[in-house]
Amino acid sequence: MSSLPLIDPDNALFLDFDGTLADLAPRPELVQVEAGLVGTLRTLHRQLGGAVAIVSGRTIAELDAFLAPLQLPTAGVHGAELRDAEGRRLEVPAPDLDRLHRRLEDFAQAHPGLRLERKPMALAVHYRAAPELETLVREQVAQALGDVSGLEMLHGKMVVEVKPAGVTKGSAVELIMRSPPFAGRMPIFAGDDVTDEDGFAMVAHLGGVGVLVGQRPSAATVSVPAPADLRAWLHRSAKALDGGAAGGAGAAGEGGKAGGPSSAHAAGADTHAGTDAGTDIDAAPAAAAAAAPSGSGTNPSASTTSS
């Protein structure tokens, strides 16, 4: 298993939000963003020439609110919404969720502890407050979905979602990687949930690195124990890039050179990175983000957040 080197100037960085950038919380709206994280992401965005993207189950509007004033290239609702590096918005056709919503609303109201979330192009049934209902939730969502065309189920941490079929975090990464400033770089994708496995598989296909936050069997090639360790790695990488001493993020291990283009990309693109002035980087006290075998351990129970 490879160690986790610092981010290289020729990398493209893709980051999940819940359970990766931010610690999980009992309810999605209770998630807190660590002080200094926005400044670190801004620095990485600048030093990587704009090649930093958020890929999440949340909507783009939610992610922008959490990371304000930063507005990065973003894939929301598992790729059903997309904002590219130029700020242009792409969306899959909105499915008709009304009848499905009514069916699941009746089910959720009949079981205290369940929470039904309506997104622009998806529905999510959260069961963290009633984990004993997991099997029933899966069965009821599958039954409600029935033979509805164009939609599919997605299982996450303490949540079952219904989203547009064929749209995944992997397909979002592939689409973003086709255009500047991402094209030609070696991608890194960091995530924690089973919903991130498509992202891990895609970056592996593109010759990149998947970083699992937590421990469970995964297609990721590297792992860190917790979101705090992932944030510590981001903080260290941002500082190193600002000082011109970043190590490569490839299979060579700490300090190795990434397998990307031979010359660094221009690092001045910051058009859509908001107006947060300065480089507000905290010295993260978290343990070093040493890689642990991603195939060991079990998937820890966590929150209802849409990863």
Catalytic residues: 16
Tell me how far apart the alpha carbons of residues 57 and 156 are, in angstroms, rounded to a whole number: 10
Dist CA 220 CA 147 (whole Å): 33
Rounded Cα–Cα distance for residues 287 and 298 (Å): 21
**Residue 179 DSSP SS3:** coil
Answer whether 283's CB lies under 8 Å from 232's CB: no
DSSP 284: -
Q: What is the C-alpha to C-alpha distance for residues 34 and 286, in angstroms, rounded to an integer? A: 12
Is 6 strand, coil or helix? coil
225, 215 Cβ separation under 8 angstroms:
yes
